[in-house]
């Protein structure tokens, strides 16, 4: 599937400010199943310096800075053209020892995956995970899909544009939340069963019941299959209808724009605009979700 994505963010400050260096996590990643055909980044006012780096988790980050420029607005617009090719999210073969719980990653893998396994554990999420694991007779793939669908079916989706994800126990107790709340609950349940899991930010092709905006889902490391995506908000395994931007063991490390400022007295207003156009091929008419 072909995507044309425009993601615009405008900050309006109540007073003149001086911006500290900012990190921009807005370039879609390139993998075997997702390729960036074109990417353009516009920043107003224009930074005095900008460079693209890889962070510690292998994500592409733009770092920019300004030379003591005072301003009242900052506008960032990222335009991307992306092709996704994963039409069957279950086209993989797990290692024989990874098809059922308990998962016992080799020591070499544990060293690499440690941050994705041993943090953000939650007693409520772990209990939910254990109940599901018993119901599916410890089958790992069945567990992931049942957990995905359980959150989708039993929790009410709500739009919450700002703020960090709720604790997993709160989301499951309230039976409601935003996509990032559902993802953190999904991650905690997986980690409670010893599965390495990470938070992913990006876009999806659209659902008429959901406002189009920055989206979130989880990826689970399955030996033999690598990182595989699961979207508890939609209740589906991730395939060619999702475009990934950024992945991290910590949700707060996926914020699309991050940076400080000097001189502000008060909270800035923030305007988000996301437009996603999808096509089966570049020559077909596009379908817009904005």
Cis peptide before 54 (omega within 30 of 0): no
Distance between CA atoms of residues 1 and 289, nearest Å: 15
| Average pLDDT of the chain, as a whole number | 92
Q: 18-41 pLDDT, tens per residue?
A: 999 999 999 999 999 999 999 999
Confidence at residue 281, expressed as pLDDT on a 0 to 100 scale: 66
Across residues 56-83, what is the average pLDDT?
Answer: 94
From the centroid of its chain, how far is CA 73? 27
Q: Are residues 101 and 232 in the same domain?
A: yes
Q: Are residues 55 and 127 in the same domain?
A: no
Q: 198-231 pLDDT, tens per residue?
A: 999 999 997 545 557 899 999 999 999 999 999 9
Q: 248-288 pLDDT, tens per residue?
A: 999 999 999 999 888 766 788 999 899 999 987 666 655 55
How many structural domains are present in the chain?
2
Confidence at residue 161, expressed as pLDDT on a 0 to 100 scale: 78
Higher pLDDT, residue 212 or 160: 160
In a domain, residue 43? The reply is: yes
Query: Which structural domain, as residue segments, surrounds residue 124?
Result: 96-239
3-state SS class at 117:
helix
Share of the chain above pLDDT 90, in %: 83
Distance between CA atoms of residues 126 and 107, nearest Å: 23
CATH number at residue 280: 2.60.40.2250
Q: Are residues 110 and 230 in the same domain?
A: yes
Confidence at residue 290, expressed as pLDDT on a 0 to 100 scale: 44
Q: Are residues 67 and 162 in the same domain?
A: no
Query: Which residues have a Cβ under 8 Å from the Cβ of 94 and sit 6 or more positions away?
Result: 140, 141, 222, 223, 224, 225
Q: Are residues 80 and 215 in the same domain?
A: no
Distance between CA atoms of residues 265 and 268, nearest Å: 9
Distance between CA atoms of residues 52 and 224, nearest Å: 31
């Amino acid at each position: 599937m072909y995507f044309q994505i425009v993601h615009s963010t405008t900050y309006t400050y109540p007073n003149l400010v001086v911006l500290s260096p900012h990190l921009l996590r807005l370039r879609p990643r390139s993998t075997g199943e997702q390729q960036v055909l074109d990417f353009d980044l516009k920043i107003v006012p224009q930074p005095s310096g900008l460079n693209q780096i890889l962070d510690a988790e292998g994500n592409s980050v733009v770092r920019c800075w300004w030379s003591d420029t005072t301003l009242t607005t900052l506008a960032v617009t990222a335009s991307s053209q992306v092709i996704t090719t994963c039409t069957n999210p279950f086209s993989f073969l797990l290692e024989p020892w990874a098809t059922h719980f308990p998962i016992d990653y080799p020591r070499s893998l544990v060293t690499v995956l440690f941050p994705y396994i041993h943090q953000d554990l939650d007693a409520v999420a772990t209990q939910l995970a254990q109940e599901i694991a018993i119901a599916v007779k410890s089958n790992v793939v069945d567990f992931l899909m049942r957990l995905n669908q359980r959150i989708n079916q039993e929790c009410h989706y709500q739009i919450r544009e700002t703020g960090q994800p709720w604790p997993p126990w709160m989301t499951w107790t309230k039976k409601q939340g935003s996509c990032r709340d559902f993802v953190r609950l999904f991650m905690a349940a997986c980690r409670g069963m010893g599965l390495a899991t990470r938070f992913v930010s990006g876009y999806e092709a659209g659902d008429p019941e959901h406002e189009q905006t920055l989206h979130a889902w989880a990826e689970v490391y399955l030996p033999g299959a690598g990182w595989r995506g699961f979207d508890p908000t939609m209740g589906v395994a991730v395939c060619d209808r999702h475009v990934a931007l950024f992945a991290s063991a910590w949700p707060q490390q996926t914020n699309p724009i991050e940076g400080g400022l000097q001189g502000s007295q008060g909270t800035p207003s923030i305007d988000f605009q996301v437009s996603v156009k999808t096509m089966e091929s570049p020559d077909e008419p596009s379908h817009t979700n904005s």
